[in-house]
Chains A and B, each alone.
Chain A
Amino acid sequence: DTAVSQTPKYLVTQMGNDKSIKCEQNLGHDTMYWYKQDSKKFLKIMFSYNNKELIINETVPNRFSPKSPDKAHLNLHINSLELGDSAVYFCASSQVQGTFGEQYFGPGTRLTVT
Chain B
Amino acid sequence: QVQLQESGPGLVKPSQTLSLTCTVSGGSISSGGYYWSWIRQHPGKGLEWIGYIYYSGSTYYNPSLKSRVTISVDTSKNQFSLKLSSVTAADTAVYYCARERSIFGVVTYFDYWGQGTLVTVSS
**Bound pair: A and B?**
no
What residues make up the interface of B, taking CB atoms closer than 8 Å to A?
none
